[in-house]
Amino acid sequence: MNVDFRTHPDRYRHWRLTIDGNVARLGMDVDEAGGLGPWELKMNSYDLGVDIELYDAVQRLRFEHPEVKAVVIESLKERIFCAGANIRMLGCSTHPEKVNFCKFTNETRNGIEDASRHSGQRYLAALSGSAAGGGYELALATDHIVLVDDGTATVALPEVPLLGVLPGTGGLTRLVDKRFVRRDLADVFSTIEEGVKGSRAVEWRLVDEVVPTSRFADAVDERLRDLAATSDRPAEGPGIELTPLEREITDTTITYPHLRVELDRDLGTATIVVAGPSDGPPADPAAAVALGAAFWPLAMTRALDDAILHLRTNERQIGTWLLKTEGDADLVTAHDAFLLDHPDHWATREITLYLKRTLRRIDETSRSIFALVEPGSCFAGSLAEMVFAADRSYMLEGTFEASDLPEARLRLTGMNLGPLTMDNHLTRLATRFWGRDDALRNAESLTGKELDAVEAHDAELVTFAYDDIDWDDELRIALEERASFSPDALTGMEQNLRFPGPETLETKIFGRLTAWQNWIFTRENASGPDGALQRYGTGLRPDFNRNRT
């Protein structure tokens, strides 16, 4: 079954989005019969379909509602906030489905934190009932957690004792790195099936406050007013409507207005070609808002975002992605300059942040990624980031015989110097030259210059530079070699190499957590016939292999 990540509030089955002045309410009301597979989504438990709607809602709040300064995530069901990821879904999903599900939920929750940190759209979790597993992890992604004090409501991370796996959406990391829970208390908390409630939840820093039922609604409203007061978002719109994303799919192509994907199933490659803008940027941010979703940086980013998610989820046999561009580098540079010249306008800020998050999806994707800098390409600034996100890059010297396309060039802009950081909070240039400050300064000194293949290679900005005589053979050998390796070993190798430098909450989640969860999901103690995921809800306890590895 192909999963479509495009949706709209009119089609939500699991969330209710309402706007009241500068406050938005995201009400979780999961349709038990609305799962993507043969499972019932009881107790506000969720699968990928529920999270696709959440991601869409977060995006729309950022773009369509600039006036919204505070968002509350709440439950529309009685005495339950969210039971977390649906266990039957995890039990019957294939290994890649489980891992992709966890990765997308992590990215969505990181997006909530990004909105709080950089967009002035602050989030509050109103736990009017118990929050377990992924439900509590969703609350952990917000700025402030209010738990009802009704004698029964708890917060819990019961995955280790109950399911034989780890909390899959950054729960352990956020406990100690975000909420500063003492690690001994975090150890105890993460091994208690029933969770923690009341004053102890506050004492252990698991929630920010507990409030009796009689005052719960008023307390939530008061905290929302406090959070809204910290926001720098405008008092009113207009916003940018995220109109339906145009996409055509055949067996070998995926086509968007500013991007196309060409699939070679025999070689196992997807060639992603980003088309540069056809016109210069508008006169000012107001004109950009008037262009709406057709404004090139936003339109291109939406297409790239959707293509990444589609290929990840629905084309798992395609192991290598080839990144290309085509168009006018001067126009790309002009759009970069436009965004950089208006960093404080809410719309240009949101577009830049969206581009940053989408480029991070490339970093976090378990595919081999090569960038091909060819004649007629426009790898400048924001699009040059794809070259630095790639595991390898190939640049052509000169042109192809009988081609009238201009020679390949690479150009850095201010977009490469700060706005589009990776999960390690470094630019891709700083990551590329980690520990080599002289090389980094040399690369940054080339900003604004058009670099041919020799110059780019000498500056260590590309991996290989070949002329047209060697180009096809060298690329063919590289792709055939890549296809011959173990996909599991490649994933481990690539993810280990992509994030040098400081460890952050994000790198812990996408490096350490994903790697361990990936391994744990394959183990018999979790996913075997007598493992915890298979026996959950049957009344039988799992039969664990007691050997430590």
Residues 415 and 488 placed together within one structural domain of the fold:
yes
Q: Are residues 200 and 319 in the same domain?
A: no
**Structure-token pair, residue 198:** 């009341």
The candidate with the shortest Cα–Cα distance to 310, out of 270, 275, 350, is 270
H or E segment to which residue 154 belongs: strand 154-156
What is the per-residue pLDDT for 205?
98
Both 137 and 107 in one domain: the answer is: yes
What would the pLDDT profile of 385-405 be if each residue is shown by its tens digit? 999 999 999 999 999 988 899
Residues 110 and 212 grouped into a single domain: yes
Residue 536, pLDDT score: 87
Q: How far apart are CA 142 and CA 82, in angstroms?
A: 15
Pairing outcome for strands 23-28 and 259-264: unpaired
Does residue 191 sit within a domain?
Answer: yes
Closest Cα to residue 85, out of 109, 116, 56, 61?
109
Q: Is residue 537 part of a domain?
A: no
In a domain, 119, yes or no: yes
List of the chain residues with pLDDT < 70: none
* pLDDT value of residue 8: 97
What is the value of pTM for the model shown? 0.96
- State the Cα–Cα distance between residues 282 and 211, nearest whole angstrom: 50
pLDDT value, residue 249:
97
Let me know whether 224 and 256 are in one domain.
Answer: no
Domain assignment of residue 252, yes or no:
yes
Residues 6+ apart with CB under 8 A from 70: 22, 23, 24, 121, 122, 123, 124, 224, 225, 227, 228, 231
Report if residue 536 sits inside a domain: no
307 and 384 in one domain? yes
Is there a single domain that holds both residue 213 and residue 345? no
pLDDT at residue 533, rounded to an integer? 87
The whole-angstrom distance between residue 297's C-alpha and the CA centroid of its chain comes to: 18
Verify that 221 and 253 share a domain, yes or no.
no
Could you tell me if residue 313 is inside a domain?
Answer: yes
Task: Give CA–CA dist 158/165, Å, rounded.
Answer: 9
Tell which residue, 375, 373, 452, has the closest CA to residue 407. Answer: 375
CATH code at position 54: 3.90.226.10
Number of domains in the chain: 2
Residues 200 and 336 placed together within one structural domain of the fold:
no
Q: Summarize pLDDT for 397-445 with one digit per residue, the tens.
A: 999 988 899 999 999 999 999 999 999 999 999 999 999 999 999 999 9
Are 390 and 453 contained in the same domain?
yes
Residues 57 and 166 in one domain: yes
DSSP secondary structure of 511-523: IIIHHHHHHHHHS
DSSP 44: G
How big, in percent rounded to 5, are the helix, strand and coil portions of the chain?
A: 45, 15, 40
- Determine the pLDDT at residue 518: 82
**529 occurs within a structural domain:** no
Query: Tens digit of pLDDT for each residue in 113-149?
Result: 999 999 999 999 999 999 999 999 999 999 999 999 9
Residues 307 and 202 placed together within one structural domain of the fold:
no
Kindly state whether residue 307 falls inside one of the protein's structural domains. Answer: yes
Domain that holds residue 186: 9-228
Distance CA 369, CA 23 (A): 41
